[in-house]
Homo-oligomer: A and B are copies of this chain.
Amino acid sequence: MTVSKTAEKSSEKPAETAKGRKDASEGPGEALQLGELSEQLGYVLKRAQLKVFENFLRCMASLQLTPAQFSVLLLVEKNPGRNQTEIASTLGILRPNFVAMLDNLESRDLCARIRSTNDRRSHILVLTDKGKAVLARAKKLVATKHEARLNELLGPSNREALLGMLSKIANEF
Chain A residues close to B by CB (< 8 Å): 1-10, 12-13, 15, 21-22, 29, 31-53, 55-56, 67, 70-71, 74-75, 77-82, 86-87, 90, 92, 112, 114-118, 124, 126, 128-129, 139, 142, 146-147, 149-150, 153-154, 158, 161-163, 165-170, 172-173
Grouping DSSP codes into helix (H, G, I), strand (E, B) and loop, the A interface class, with mixed when no group exceeds half, is: helix
Hey, which chain B residues are within 8 Å of A142, CB to CB?
40
Least Cβ–Cβ distance between A67 and chain B, in angstroms: 5
With contacts A49-B49, A79-B32 taken as known, whether A3 is within 8 angstroms of B128 at the C-beta atoms is yes
The one of B1, B80, B90 that contacts A15, using a Cβ cutoff of 8 Å: B80
Cβ-defined contact, A170 with B47, below 8 A: yes
CA distance A142 to B41 in the complex (A): 10
CA distance A49 to B173 in the complex (A): 10
